[in-house]
Amino acid sequence: MHEFRVSVGPASFRLLSDWQKPIAQMRALYASYPEPEIPDFTVRLEAVSLLRRFLRPSGAIEGDYMLPDAAPLPVEQGLLALEMGMNLQMALGWRRHLILHASAVERDGRVLVMTGLSGSGKSTLSAMLGLDGWRFMGDEFVLIDLVSGAAVPYPRLISLKNLAIAEMQRVAPSAQFGPVMAGTPKGDIRHMVPSPEAVTRMAEPGIPALLLFPSFGYSAAVRELQLSETFVRLTQASPNYVALGEPGFTALARFVKTVPARAIDYETGAEAIAMVEQLWDTLA
Amino acid sequence: MTDAMILVGALRDPDSAQNLAAEQWTALLTIARAEQLIGTLAFRLEGQAVPDGVKAILTDARLNAEVQRRTALWEADCARRALAEYDGKVVLMKGTAYVASDLRAGQGRSIGDLDIMVAQPDLPTVEAMLLAAGWEWVKQDAYDDAYYRDHMHELPPMIHRERDRMIDVHHTILPLTARPRPDAAAMMADAVPLPLAGGVRGGPEKIVGSLPFESDPPPTPPVSGRGEVFVFSPEDMVCHCAAHLFADGDLAGGLRNLWDFHCLTQEFTASDPGFRTRLSQRAEHHGLTAAVERAQRLADHLYVSGCDQITLTDRLFIRRLTARNGYGQQTRRFIRLAFYIRSHALRMPPMMLARHLWTKWRKGHQPKV
């Protein structure tokens, strides 16, 4: 199989594929990331049958941790499949931190965490803030240290969807982008390489200082949340909270008690950034 | 190319892991995960000097095994409480039994479903009690349901609607259509209570004691079976392990089951020199002599240094058991297919097999080989 290895934050992967192309794409996009000697996880993109290796090729995501009935993807979306495989290893297999399904940016050693459902804009917002004086830490997972409570970066490729693709190409014309993958299960997807600073400083954690639940598509509003609501929403946003047992509970409870939280609604990226800056100045 | 012998070697002789190169470590860890033996490997390699990247993965595996142990015991305790009013014995089986009995086979073991056994005539009672306590049928069609009830050694699987955990309720240890007919009644009669009545040993007794569950058994001391859980006698535990491995199934995940067999026989023999003799007698009584003897030969060959007393067919079994490459993929397609066919031939007579495969094929089933 074709092979590529990469470290993202504290986690490391061995990516294997029956086809050369997705590996070459990964290699190009992750060129500035370190290569591990002994990877934590293996992800495989395998032809579902010998026929499907050559004719209308499509691959299934396999690896150390798998979902039983994951649908195969056409090989043109192999890059997406490998990224999904990496996310799956983290979600099902990572035990060294409490994982929050969230994006994060850092300034002065303090971290803004944004979490929400797919389409809330957390990914795009983190990418935009990353161009605007913040250090990008990750658009998918934030890793919470079980002992210190620090937020540890996981700056994988930024996954831009649908309208966000054109918007980011407009504001960051010099950034490195992957191939456009149209018609994926999540619509159009294009990956963007995080800034060089995000990669060189990916071992540098920060102190969580503000938690936001953004919602895209509503007129601007800010809402306070009760600790209990924040806690429950974060248990749902954490893929490994249950598997960690008591240390996971302790880490999440401390996070909720020490980090102020707000839900924000917004209609444009510029509006959201202004709200974020204002909340950061008053709360963080 | 590497096969699962690299995992066998590390389990047999943990000191040998010192000499592994980075590439071999990667293959070993990937294969151990695929064979559900990463937790076991982590316990075996405890205290060995290993590269930092490996140490982190093994630490994760140990912690994860601990979570699985606790979850399995908790689930067993939930079943015990659901069946508190049931008069017969509830016997824990497989991984849950090993961790509940604090056996070496349970160290680091991955545990999925809860397997219990009850007396065959009591199945309807037990089924009703579990349904009343929140378990429900996993969705399947009428053919599968009827097949389980007519021909299998267990009820169709049930899942708990809140905890999302599966339970398999057995009444014997092999399908009713298989040639050996183990003496299930004798197994139930000889099953022994776990030392701590009212809570599974090493389990979350504190949690159980502190929460006012409605279904908690009355605080009177348990009478014959009530509120207690049991495990098989050592001989029956080993017989079941061998039957599960060689008289049923296609040997997928067989390295782990063979490791169970190895640990069980070593531990029981160490504490009781007469164990081997009684095991042979018991295996003969159950019609499982061939399975137990093969398990013993293969376990000794693979997991004990310097044991090479194996037959030609044993070699085929070893080819099947170790059919995995360093990427974690299954290999040796032909030999796996052969064992898959064998598993069905063992499970039922030829005409019945033909009818079963025909029905399954018409429903679009494809063998997972």
Read off the pLDDT of residues B205-251 as tens digits, 9 standing for 90 and up.
433 333 334 444 444 444 455 678 999 999 999 999 999 998 777 88
- B367: pLDDT confidence band, cut at 50, 70 and 90? low
Q: Report the gap between the CA of B18 and the closest CA in chain A (Å).
A: 15
CA distance B232 to B238: 9
Most confident of the following: A27-36, A171-180, B308-317:
A27-36
B163-180 per-position pLDDT tens digit? 999 999 999 999 888 888
CA distance B147 to B196: 37
Backbone φ and ψ for A161, nearest 5 degrees, come out as -120, 140
CA distance B5 to A272: 56
Q: Report the gap between the CA of A46 and the closest CA in chain B (Å).
A: 10
Q: Quick one: residue A11, left, alpha or beta (phi over 0 = left, psi -120 to 50 = alpha)?
A: beta
A74-102 per-position pLDDT tens digit? 888 999 999 999 999 999 999 999 999 99
B70 has a chain A CB within 8 A of its CB: yes
Tokens of B155: 């009820």
**What is residue B225's predicted lDDT score, i.e. its pLDDT?**
58
B302-319 per-position pLDDT tens digit? 999 877 788 999 999 999
Neighbours of A14 (CB within 10 A): 23
Q: Is B250 exposed, middle or buried (0-12, 13-18, 19+ CB in 10 A)?
A: buried
Q: Is A119 exposed, middle or buried (0-12, 13-18, 19+ CB in 10 A)?
A: middle
Nearest to B60 among A14, A46, A96 (CB): A96
% chain A with pLDDT above 90 = 82
- B26: pLDDT confidence band, cut at 50, 70 and 90? very high
Tell me what the pLDDT averaged over chain A comes to.
Answer: 94
Higher-pLDDT residue of B17 and B147 is B17
**What is residue B222's predicted lDDT score, i.e. its pLDDT?**
40
**What is residue B366's predicted lDDT score, i.e. its pLDDT?**
66
**What is residue B201's predicted lDDT score, i.e. its pLDDT?**
44
CA distance A17 to A59: 9
What average pLDDT does range B136-150 have in this prediction? 83
Alpha helices in chain A (DSSP H): 20-29, 51-54, 78-93, 122-130, 163-171, 196-200, 227-237, 241-244, 246-258, 269-283
3-state secondary structure of A212: strand
B39-71 per-position pLDDT tens digit? 999 999 999 999 999 999 999 999 999 999 999
**What is residue A39's predicted lDDT score, i.e. its pLDDT?**
97
B163 has a chain A CB within 8 A of its CB: no
Most confident of the following: A2-16, A44-58, B163-177:
A2-16
**What is residue B130's predicted lDDT score, i.e. its pLDDT?**
97
3-state secondary structure of B50: coil
% chain A with pLDDT above 70 = 100
Report the interhelical angle of B275-286 vs B254-271 (nearest 10°). Answer: 130
Residue B199 has pLDDT above 50, yes or no: no
Write the DSSP symbol of residue A6: E
Q: Is A225 exposed, middle or buried (0-12, 13-18, 19+ CB in 10 A)?
A: middle
**What is residue B207's predicted lDDT score, i.e. its pLDDT?**
34
**Terminal alpha carbon distance of chain B:** 20
A202-259 per-position pLDDT tens digit? 999 999 999 999 998 889 999 999 999 999 999 999 999 999 989 999 999 999 999 9
- B140: pLDDT confidence band, cut at 50, 70 and 90? confident
Q: What's the Cα-to-Cα distance from B219 to each of B79, B91, B281, rounded to whole Å?
A: 17, 22, 40
Cβ contact B22–A40 (<8 Å): no
Tokens of A134: 């913040």
Residue B145 has pLDDT above 90, yes or no: no
Higher-pLDDT residue of A58 and A135 is A135
Cβ contact A245–B67 (<8 Å): yes
Nearest to A38 among B25, B63, B70 (CB): B25
**What is residue A64's predicted lDDT score, i.e. its pLDDT?**
95
Residue B196 has pLDDT above 60, yes or no: no
Return the closest-CA partner of residue A96 out of A33, A25, A148. Answer: A148
A16 has a chain B CB within 8 A of its CB: yes
CA distance B327 to A18: 12
Return the closest-CA partner of residue A241 out of A86, A134, A102. Answer: A102
**What is residue B148's predicted lDDT score, i.e. its pLDDT?**
83
- B203: pLDDT confidence band, cut at 50, 70 and 90? very low
Question: Out of A93-102, A180-189, B110-119, B278-287, which region has the weakest mean confidence (pLDDT)?
Answer: A180-189
Q: Which of residues 18-37 of B touch A (CB under 8 A)?
A: 22, 25-26, 29-30, 33-34
CA distance B147 to B157: 12
CA angle B64, B105, B208 (to 5 degrees): 60
Length of chain A: 284
Nearest to A14 among B26, B51, B67 (CB): B26
Nearest to B33 among A64, A243, A245 (CB): A64
- Chain A residue numbers with beta carbons less than 8 Å from the beta carbon of B112 are none
CA distance A114 to A103: 5
**What is residue B73's predicted lDDT score, i.e. its pLDDT?**
96
- Chain A residue numbers with beta carbons less than 8 Å from the beta carbon of B26 are 14, 38-39, 42
A38 has a chain B CB within 8 A of its CB: yes
**What is residue B219's predicted lDDT score, i.e. its pLDDT?**
43
**What is residue A85's predicted lDDT score, i.e. its pLDDT?**
95
Closest residue of chain B to A13, computed from CA coordinates: B26
Q: Report the gap between the CA of A120 and the closest CA in chain B (Å).
A: 29
A97 has a chain B CB within 8 A of its CB: no
Return the closest-CA partner of residue A191 out of A45, A32, A29. Answer: A29
